[in-house]
Amino acid sequence: MMKPITFFIHHQGRGHANRAMAIIRELPSERAVTILTAKPSLFDGFERPITIAALPDMIGAPVPTPGLFAQATPEVMHCVPLGVSKTRATMRTIVDHLDDVDPALFVVDVSAEIALLARIASVPAISIRMHGDRLDPGHLGAYQASVGLLAPFGEALEQADTPDWVRANTCYAGGLCTTVDPVPMKAEARAKLGLDPTKEIIVVLTGGGGAGTPYAPLTMAARAVPDALWLVLGPVHREGHETDFGNLVELGWVPDVTDHIAAADVVIASAGDNT
């Protein structure tokens, strides 16, 4: 009998969950999979049978006293406020699950603290790496605590100063969230979407991280380039005082992102791995 695989999936944005689904689709159907996450809805509609264990949402959980709030964060960690009951509940849920199922692997996407917790709990972990300068003690400690590392980008995008031991332990998987949809030519995409074949079109991809891309800068951009049609894909954050412009259109989440990108003259995107 195959031992199960467990994933910890951070609920900021959608990229962590999309990466997990891309990996899980390639696993044998007989391999049991559990997802530990504070936002189970990220996996709504996923076609592959999985078990989801909900975690408390620790983001913004209050620290009970000013004295505890003032305590410095250890260099080897990133987010470990003191006195937070939701943090204890999260760690207890994770350790209890790992003890119950004894997974073959624990895939951590992404948390330095939980990678360290896995090592303390004697569970082999794979840490997902992210772009950019991640050479602080927290990231390096998580990498050292893991039995392997997975980068959702090509080695050509690696930072020049990444240590050799990090590179050697990394599987460079390329884009795990990329679409397999065919990319149409611009004229074909515009015809499909009912867009003017001659107008300049700027597509903005906002992503799912945080509260949404601020709307005010987009209105300023639309005013600065008034002859272009601005199409915004994904959520935006309004403060209530913004002025709408006729050439700025909010589409929200759309199923045909590839067609919109193909139809655009310019694409402005958030910098997440999913994008």
Domain ranges of the chain: 5-172, 186-269
Same topology for domains 5-172 and 186-269, yes or no?
yes
What's the confidence (pLDDT) of residue 207? Answer: 80
Q: Domain 5-172 is in which class?
A: alpha beta
Other Cβ atoms closer than 10 A to 71: 12
Name the CA radius of gyration of the chain, rounded: 21
What's the confidence (pLDDT) of residue 135? Answer: 95
* Alpha carbon distance 20, 106 (integer Å): 12
What's the confidence (pLDDT) of residue 33? Answer: 99
Q: From the options 3.40.50.720, 3.20.20.10, 3.40.50.2000, 3.30.9.10, give the CATH code of 186-269.
A: 3.40.50.2000
pLDDT averaged over consecutive 10-residue blocks of the chain (275 residues)? Answer: 96 89 96 98 96 94 96 96 97 98 98 98 98 94 98 94 98 84 95 98 88 89 97 91 92 94 95 73
Task: Give the pLDDT confidence of 177-215 residue by residue, as tens digits.
Answer: 777 789 999 999 999 999 999 999 999 999 877 777 899
